A = this chain, B = another copy of it.
Amino acid sequence: MREVTAFAPATVANVSCGFDILGFAIDSLGDKVKVKLTEGSALKVVEIQGDEGKLPFESEKNTCSVAIQAMLDQMDLHVGMEISLYKGLPLGSGMGSSAASAAAALVAANEVLGKPFSKEDLVPFAMEAERIACGAAHADNVAPSILGGFVLIRGYDPLDVIKLPVPDGLHCTLLHPHLELKTSDSRSVLKQQISLKDATMQSGNIAGLIAGLYKSDFPLIGRSLKDVIAEPSRALLIPGFYELREAIKNVGALGSGISGSGPTIFILSSNESIATKAGEVSRKVFDEIGLGVDVYVSKVNVKGAFIL
């Protein structure tokens, strides 16, 4: 029977002033999913690698099968599939791990079925997987993982997904410090009421960031990378956060923020050389406080999930 393997990239959501509405995809880091058509009408997760035994095989709990099932339900189609998941992303890191699995699964399954859906169409199915994995059907990781580039989620009622341009040269440094940060803790520190002044500042900055992406205006992107809503609370959970911000500004990076709900930190830079230097100085900051860190330097991915 026909089988297809797809790759879907890691993603950064909650891009600073883009709290809950903006995400982008990373090159090379990501998950792979193999989907094989079988007899019968059951989805079976038959193999999971790279998860240290933490992910569920039950098809109603695994993000790959949940996403594919949502697609099949929409088509009212009953087919069997064997699903193999090869994790390239650490779990619970803030790099969109569950989103990448769902995205790769959908792109592979869509190909196996002869592409009944466009990539844009796949986003709502992946959101169902996020509902299982994170408790909320967010699109700010799954949409960029599927579509690539910077993606704005304007709103959810109805879902409004807008692909934004990626300036040439824009690079991301991802820092994954070796500390555990529960999403529930990251959520619980968020203030549910904010001042009109802070809301207005956040609006000004997200507007500036969108304009900066369209204009390829790196200084404007840098000036706009400020989050006055989530970051002030969440940064306290990540040792070294503000020291690192100083250090990366000194080597010319545009700015930094918390990726998703952390603990991964993203840094944006106008070229690879600065992105690499930003990674080096960040590593020193974490060394000094005795915290291990994985550093990845990457272009912003513009093509999203693809068939291998």
Which residues on the B side are within 8 Å of A205 (C-beta)?
154-155
Stretch at the interface among A13-21, A30-38, A84-92: A13-21
Q: Answer whether residue A192 sits at the interface, using C-beta atoms and an 8 A cutoff.
A: yes
In contact, B207 and A18 (Cβ under 8 angstroms): yes
In contact, A208 and B19 (Cβ under 8 angstroms): no
Interface residues of A in 232-251 (CB under 8 A from B): none
A152 to B210, CA, bound (A): 11
In contact, A196 and B194 (Cβ under 8 angstroms): yes
Q: Which of chain B's residues has its CB closest to A202's CB? A: B203
0 or 1 for each of A175-214: is its CB under 8 Å from B? (1 = yes) = 0000000000000001111111011111111111111001
In contact, B192 and A196 (Cβ under 8 angstroms): yes
Q: Answer whether residue A265 sits at the interface, using C-beta atoms and an 8 A cutoff.
A: no
Q: Which of chain B's residues has its CB closest to A217's CB? A: B162
A214 to B163, CA, bound (A): 12
Number of interface residues of A (CB under 8 A): 39
CB distance from A115 to the nearest CB of B (A): 26
CB distance from A161 to the nearest CB of B (A): 11
Q: Which of chain B's residues has its CB closest to A152's CB? A: B207
A202 to B229, CA, bound (A): 13
Q: Answer whether residue A220 sits at the interface, using C-beta atoms and an 8 A cutoff.
A: yes
Which residues on the B side are within 8 Å of A229 (C-beta)?
196, 199
With A164-B211, A196-B193 in contact, is A155–B201 under 8 Å at CB? yes
CB distance from A151 to the nearest CB of B (A): 11
CB distance from A43 to the nearest CB of B (A): 33
In contact, B21 and A200 (Cβ under 8 angstroms): yes
- Contacting residue for A194 out of B153, B199, B208, CB 8 A: B199
Q: How many copies does the complex hold?
A: 2
Which residues on the B side are within 8 Å of A223 (C-beta)?
154-155, 160
Q: Which of chain B's residues has its CB closest to A205's CB? A: B154
Q: Answer whether residue A22 sits at the interface, using C-beta atoms and an 8 A cutoff.
A: yes
Q: Which of chain B's residues has its CB closest to A190's CB? A: B196
- Contacting residue for A152 out of B190, B195, B201, B208, CB 8 A: B208
Q: Which of chain B's residues has its CB closest to A198's CB? A: B199
Which residues on the B side are within 8 Å of A154 (C-beta)?
204-205, 207-208, 220, 223-224
- Contacting residue for A203 out of B17, B162, B195, B224, CB 8 A: B17
A198 to B194, CA, bound (A): 10
Which residues on the B side are within 8 Å of A196 (C-beta)?
190-194, 229
Give 8 A-B contacts (CB < 8 Å), ordered by A residue: A20-B203, A155-B201, A162-B208, A193-B195, A193-B196, A194-B195, A211-B214, A214-B214
User: What are the 3 tightest A-B residue pairs by CB atom distance, in nearest-first order?
Assistant: A154-B208, A214-B214, A199-B199
- Which residues on A are within 8 Å of B, measured CB to CB? 17-22, 152-155, 160, 162, 164, 190-196, 198-211, 214, 220, 223-224, 229
Given A154-B208, A155-B204, A162-B211, 11 more pairs with CB closer than 8 A: A19-B203, A21-B203, A21-B204, A154-B220, A191-B196, A193-B194, A193-B196, A194-B196, A199-B202, A203-B203, A206-B206
